[in-house]
Amino acid sequence: MVGKRKTPERKCVVTNEMKPKKELIRVVRNKEGEVFVDPTGKKNGRGAYLSKDLNVVEQAEKTGVLNKHLNVEVDDSIYSELRRLISGRNEK
């Protein structure tokens, strides 16, 4: 079993699917209450994961699911940043 490390999985807060961490984008709220997108997935704070899918981001914005998960009002700029990240990433 050497070298067979388990891939860390996280749940998308919109679709409730478990996916490898690398396939998700993390949104974080830190102690100061600031919310930001964390592409590294390593920043301190409460994190919520979203699938790298524009439809998921739209749904998250409509339902306010991030507000619930992070207990804070998530700014529109966060959703814009998520869209930018995803559309930039999907062009392979």
CATH of 9-90, one of 3.30.1230.10, 3.40.470.10, 1.10.10.10, 3.40.50.920: 3.30.1230.10
pTM of the model: 0.87
Residue 58, token pair as written in the block: 């739209």
pLDDT tens digit sequence for 50-64: 999 999 999 999 999
| Three-state secondary-structure class, residue 37 | strand
Query: Helices 54-63 and 76-90 meet at what angle, rounded to 10?
Result: 170
pLDDT tens digit sequence for 35-88: 999 988 899 999 999 999 999 999 999 999 999 999 999 999 999 999 999 998
Query: Which run of H or E residues covers position 32?
Result: none
What does the alpha-carbon distance between residue 46 and residue 71 come to, in Å, rounded to a whole number? Answer: 9
* Contact of 73 with 31, CB cutoff 8 Å: no
